[in-house]
A and B are shown apart, each in its own frame.
Chain A
Amino acid sequence: MANQYNSLPRHSASNPVKIKIKLKLREESTEVRTLITHPMDTGRLKNSKGKLIPAHFIQEIKIQHNEEVVATCVIGSPISKNPFLKMRFKGGQRGDIVRISWVDNKGDRGSKEQAIP
């Protein structure tokens, strides 16, 4: 709490986390590709002034197909900056809704929905 930088939400209106979703209907499954813009700081890296940048990373990405959870990705800071995932699920149809939601170690969260084209 003493460190103001720590207590401020990194993702303010001027720097929101963006979620990109690409959905593709394949023969037997629907392919979900998602990229979430997030620093994924490990807490081990120093800034230009030699001060440690505090750990700040997404801990969970949930993928839902019509409200049903198809994958819960529990991740740590060894996942690259701007996490990118690809997975496939069965039973998707044109127009179905896929929802991606994330939570980070500071309790920030976000989500986005997209229809299968």
Chain B
Amino acid sequence: MNHIQQRRLLLKGLLSSSLLGVATFLPKLALAAWPKSAFQSTTAASAIQKLEPELTVEKSTEIKIKAPKLAENGSIVWIEISTTIENVESISILVEKNPTPLAAKFILSEKAEAYIYTRIKMRESSPVIALVKANGKLYSAQRNIKVTLGGCGG
């Protein structure tokens, strides 16, 4: 009797653990490329370091950031980043004073122009950093955006 109960317990355990395994494994498999530690970093510097641990950042005047000087609603702030730097591999956006500064990384192919436009959330007025990776180097530029009403929800 005792033996059977033990076996039942073991089987139940095996079944539930294997189910759990599948449930937690699937989403991970689908999102292997998402750089979790960079997105969870609470400072812009550490997010950049996690994105590109082997590169140092150089300031560049060849990156153009277009955005409103004053954004009324922090939950929708448009931003446009373009650069004349050649061979751009990626363009990232970081909002320094957001709880998690990294907003996005756009990985561009050779066919893509060095241009992106999107809408971001901003908790408060903050410098916004455009980070461009090109020719194996990291370039950055930044611009202050004032926000009247924060939009990060908390």
User: Quick one: closest B residue to A74, CB to CB?
Assistant: B105
A88 x B119 contact (CB < 8 A): no
A114 interface hit (Cβ, 8 Å) = no
Write the A83-101 contact mask toward B (1 if CB under 8 angstroms, else 0).
1111111110000000000
- Chain B interface size, as a band, is 35 or more
Quick one: closest A residue to B47, CB to CB?
A: A76
Decide: B113 and A74 in contact? CB cutoff 8 A: no
State the majority secondary structure of interface residues on B.
mixed
By the criterion of a CB under 8 Å from any partner CB, how many residues of chain A are at the interface? 37
CA distance A50 to B100 in the complex (A): 22
Within 8 A of A (CB), among B96-148: 98-109, 111-113, 115-121
Q: State in angstroms the CA–CA spacing of A109 and B29 once bound together.
A: 13
Query: Which of B95, B106, B107, B109 is in CB contact (< 8 Å) with A78?
Result: B95
- Cross-chain pairs A/B with CB under 8 angstroms, 10 sampled: A42-B121, A44-B154, A71-B108, A73-B118, A74-B34, A74-B107, A78-B104, A87-B117, A89-B113, A105-B31
**B-side interface residues toward A, CB under 8 Å?**
23, 26-27, 30-31, 33-35, 39, 75-77, 80, 95, 98-109, 111-113, 115-121, 151-154
